[in-house]
Protein backbone atom coordinates (compact mmCIF):
# COMPACT_ATOMS: atom_id res chain seq x y z
CA UNK A 1 0.00 0.00 0.00
CA UNK A 2 1.27 3.49 -0.85
CA UNK A 3 2.26 6.07 1.70
CA UNK A 4 -0.46 8.44 2.90
CA UNK A 5 1.42 11.69 3.38
CA UNK A 6 4.65 13.55 2.54
CA UNK A 7 5.64 16.62 4.55
CA UNK A 8 7.22 19.67 2.92
CA UNK A 9 10.51 18.67 4.51
CA UNK A 10 10.16 15.22 2.92
CA UNK A 11 9.61 16.81 -0.49
CA UNK A 12 12.59 19.15 -0.09
CA UNK A 13 14.83 16.23 0.86
CA UNK A 14 13.58 14.15 -2.08
CA UNK A 15 13.73 16.85 -4.76
CA UNK A 16 17.09 18.12 -3.58
CA UNK A 17 18.86 14.77 -3.88
CA UNK A 18 17.63 13.84 -7.36
CA UNK A 19 20.27 13.58 -10.13
CA UNK A 20 20.26 16.02 -13.09
CA UNK A 21 17.72 13.86 -14.95
CA UNK A 22 15.32 14.72 -12.10
CA UNK A 23 15.11 18.31 -13.35
CA UNK A 24 11.72 17.41 -14.85
CA UNK A 25 9.04 15.34 -13.17
CA UNK A 26 5.51 14.23 -13.97
CA UNK A 27 2.76 12.51 -12.02
CA UNK A 28 3.98 9.05 -12.93
CA UNK A 29 7.59 9.66 -11.92
CA UNK A 30 6.53 11.29 -8.65
CA UNK A 31 4.31 8.34 -7.79
CA UNK A 32 7.23 5.99 -8.40
CA UNK A 33 9.56 8.09 -6.26
CA UNK A 34 7.19 8.53 -3.33
CA UNK A 35 4.80 5.57 -3.32
CA UNK A 36 1.91 8.04 -2.97
CA UNK A 37 -1.43 7.56 -4.72
CA UNK A 38 -2.16 9.53 -7.88
CA UNK A 39 -4.64 11.74 -6.01
CA UNK A 40 -2.09 12.50 -3.28
CA UNK A 41 0.61 13.31 -5.85
CA UNK A 42 -1.71 15.67 -7.75
CA UNK A 43 -2.59 17.47 -4.53
CA UNK A 44 1.09 17.65 -3.60
CA UNK A 45 2.00 19.09 -7.02
CA UNK A 46 -0.55 21.86 -6.50
CA UNK A 47 0.93 22.70 -3.08
CA UNK A 48 4.52 22.45 -4.28
CA UNK A 49 3.77 24.69 -7.26
CA UNK A 50 2.38 27.34 -4.94
CA UNK A 51 5.49 27.15 -2.76
CA UNK A 52 7.84 27.25 -5.76
CA UNK A 53 9.41 23.84 -5.22
CA UNK A 54 7.90 22.72 -8.53
CA UNK A 55 7.15 24.93 -11.53
CA UNK A 56 4.40 23.83 -13.93
CA UNK A 57 5.55 23.50 -17.54
CA UNK A 58 2.36 22.18 -19.14
CA UNK A 59 1.33 18.72 -20.33
CA UNK A 60 1.53 17.53 -16.69
CA UNK A 61 5.30 18.19 -16.48
CA UNK A 62 6.98 20.10 -13.67
CA UNK A 63 10.45 21.63 -13.28
CA UNK A 64 12.35 20.84 -10.11
CA UNK A 65 13.53 24.01 -8.35
CA UNK A 66 16.77 22.32 -7.30
CA UNK A 67 18.00 21.98 -10.89
CA UNK A 68 18.54 24.42 -13.74
CA UNK A 69 16.02 23.68 -16.51
CA UNK A 70 17.03 24.22 -20.15
CA UNK A 71 14.43 25.44 -22.66
CA UNK A 72 15.53 22.97 -25.35
CA UNK A 73 14.98 20.10 -22.92
CA UNK A 74 11.53 21.41 -22.06
CA UNK A 75 10.67 21.70 -25.74
CA UNK A 76 11.58 18.04 -26.26
CA UNK A 77 9.45 16.97 -23.29
CA UNK A 78 6.26 18.90 -24.03
CA UNK A 79 5.71 17.84 -27.64
CA UNK A 80 6.92 14.58 -29.15
CA UNK A 81 8.15 14.02 -31.75
CA UNK A 82 9.92 17.35 -32.22
CA UNK A 83 13.38 18.72 -32.89
CA UNK A 84 14.99 22.12 -32.36
CA UNK A 85 15.41 24.05 -35.60
CA UNK A 86 15.32 27.41 -37.39
CA UNK A 87 17.06 30.45 -35.87
CA UNK A 88 18.05 28.74 -32.59
CA UNK A 89 20.19 26.21 -34.49
CA UNK A 90 21.46 28.79 -36.99
CA UNK A 91 22.52 31.05 -34.12
CA UNK A 92 24.34 28.22 -32.31
CA UNK A 93 26.19 27.38 -35.56
CA UNK A 94 27.01 31.09 -36.07
CA UNK A 95 25.20 31.10 -39.40
CA UNK A 96 23.33 34.13 -38.04
CA UNK A 97 24.33 36.73 -35.47
CA UNK A 98 20.74 37.65 -34.66
CA UNK A 99 19.71 37.04 -31.04
CA UNK A 100 17.10 34.32 -30.60
CA UNK A 101 14.35 35.04 -28.08
CA UNK A 102 11.97 32.18 -28.94
CA UNK A 103 12.75 28.47 -29.20
CA UNK A 104 11.32 27.05 -32.42
CA UNK A 105 10.83 23.31 -32.81
CA UNK A 106 9.62 21.33 -35.81
CA UNK A 107 7.04 18.62 -35.25
CA UNK A 108 4.62 16.40 -37.14
CA UNK A 109 1.93 17.45 -34.67
CA UNK A 110 -0.25 20.57 -35.17
CA UNK A 111 1.36 24.01 -34.98
CA UNK A 112 1.20 25.32 -31.41
CA UNK A 113 2.93 27.59 -28.90
CA UNK A 114 3.77 27.05 -25.24
CA UNK A 115 4.67 29.76 -22.77
CA UNK A 116 6.79 28.32 -19.96
CA UNK A 117 8.44 29.99 -16.95
CA UNK A 118 11.73 29.65 -18.82
CA UNK A 119 10.71 31.06 -22.19
CA UNK A 120 8.38 30.68 -25.14
CA UNK A 121 8.41 27.62 -27.38
CA UNK A 122 6.83 27.59 -30.84
CA UNK A 123 6.13 24.30 -32.60
CA UNK A 124 5.89 24.46 -36.40
CA UNK A 125 4.23 21.56 -38.16
CA UNK A 126 5.62 19.70 -41.18
CA UNK A 127 4.62 16.51 -42.92
CA UNK A 128 6.35 13.25 -42.05
CA UNK A 129 8.30 13.35 -45.33
CA UNK A 130 10.09 16.51 -44.12
CA UNK A 131 10.70 15.27 -40.57
CA UNK A 132 14.40 14.38 -40.87
CA UNK A 133 17.82 16.07 -40.89
CA UNK A 134 18.32 16.16 -37.13
CA UNK A 135 20.72 14.51 -34.71
CA UNK A 136 20.51 13.59 -31.03
CA UNK A 137 22.42 15.74 -28.56
CA UNK A 138 23.06 15.04 -24.89
CA UNK A 139 21.90 18.11 -23.00
CA UNK A 140 23.00 19.68 -19.71
CA UNK A 141 20.74 17.53 -17.54
CA UNK A 142 21.53 14.33 -19.39
CA UNK A 143 18.42 14.28 -21.57
CA UNK A 144 18.45 13.55 -25.30
CA UNK A 145 17.41 16.55 -27.38
CA UNK A 146 16.94 16.27 -31.15
CA UNK A 147 18.52 19.17 -33.01
CA UNK A 148 18.48 19.98 -36.73
CA UNK A 149 21.69 20.12 -38.69
CA UNK A 150 22.33 23.77 -39.69
CA UNK A 151 21.59 23.07 -43.35
CA UNK A 152 18.24 21.50 -42.48
CA UNK A 153 17.47 24.37 -40.08
CA UNK A 154 17.93 26.88 -42.91
CA UNK A 155 15.73 24.87 -45.28
CA UNK A 156 13.09 24.52 -42.56
CA UNK A 157 13.24 28.31 -42.15
CA UNK A 158 12.78 28.92 -45.89
CA UNK A 159 9.99 26.36 -46.21
CA UNK A 160 8.01 27.50 -43.17
CA UNK A 161 8.52 31.21 -43.90
CA UNK A 162 7.29 30.83 -47.47
CA UNK A 163 4.29 28.78 -46.33
CA UNK A 164 3.35 31.49 -43.81
CA UNK A 165 4.06 34.35 -46.21
CA UNK A 166 6.73 35.74 -43.86
CA UNK A 167 10.02 37.38 -44.89
CA UNK A 168 13.36 35.98 -43.70
CA UNK A 169 14.67 38.89 -41.67
CA UNK A 170 17.77 37.38 -40.01
CA UNK A 171 21.29 37.76 -41.45
CA UNK A 172 22.78 34.58 -42.90
CA UNK A 173 26.40 33.51 -43.48
CA UNK A 174 26.24 30.78 -46.13
CA UNK A 175 30.01 30.20 -45.83
CA UNK A 176 29.39 28.41 -42.52
CA UNK A 177 27.14 25.81 -44.17
CA UNK A 178 28.12 22.57 -45.88
CA UNK A 179 27.30 23.36 -49.51
CA UNK A 180 26.95 19.74 -50.66
CA UNK A 181 24.69 18.82 -47.77
CA UNK A 182 22.61 21.96 -48.27
CA UNK A 183 22.03 21.23 -51.96
CA UNK A 184 21.32 17.54 -51.34
CA UNK A 185 18.82 18.34 -48.59
CA UNK A 186 17.18 21.07 -50.70
CA UNK A 187 16.34 18.49 -53.37
CA UNK A 188 14.16 16.69 -50.80
CA UNK A 189 12.03 19.82 -50.30
CA UNK A 190 9.42 21.27 -52.67
CA UNK A 191 11.03 22.90 -55.72
CA UNK A 192 10.11 26.37 -54.47
CA UNK A 193 12.52 25.96 -51.54
CA UNK A 194 15.38 24.83 -53.78
CA UNK A 195 14.75 27.75 -56.14
CA UNK A 196 14.79 30.23 -53.24
CA UNK A 197 18.33 29.31 -52.13
CA UNK A 198 20.26 31.14 -54.87
CA UNK A 199 18.46 34.50 -54.59
CA UNK A 200 18.59 34.31 -50.79
CA UNK A 201 22.36 33.77 -50.80
CA UNK A 202 22.89 36.63 -53.27
CA UNK A 203 20.74 38.89 -51.14
CA UNK A 204 22.85 38.26 -48.04
CA UNK A 205 26.16 38.54 -49.91
CA UNK A 206 25.08 42.01 -51.07
CA UNK A 207 24.61 43.28 -47.51
> Is the pLDDT score of 2 beyond 60?
no
Please determine, for residue 159, whether its predicted confidence score (pLDDT) is greater than 90.
yes
Predicted confidence at residue 207, as pLDDT, reads 58
- The strand ranges marked E within the chain are 24-26, 54-58, 61-64, 82-84, 103-107, 112-116, 119-125, 134-138, 144-148
pLDDT reported for residue 115: 96
Q: Collapsing DSSP states into helix, strand and coil, what is residue 173?
A: coil
Query: What's the pLDDT at 204?
Result: 80
**More reliable by pLDDT, 4 or 188:** 188
Which residue segments constitute the domains of the chain, with CATH numbers given? 8-64 (1.10.10.10), 78-205 (no CATH)
pLDDT of residue 206: 58
Is residue 45 within 8 A of residue 30, CB to CB? The reply is: yes
* pLDDT for position 1: 42
Amino acid sequence: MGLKYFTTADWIALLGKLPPAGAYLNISSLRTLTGLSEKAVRQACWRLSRSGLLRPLGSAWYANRFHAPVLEEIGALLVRPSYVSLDRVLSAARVTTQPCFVLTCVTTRPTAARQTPYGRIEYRSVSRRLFWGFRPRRSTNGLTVLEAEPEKALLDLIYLSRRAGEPIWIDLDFARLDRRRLEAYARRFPRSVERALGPLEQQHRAR
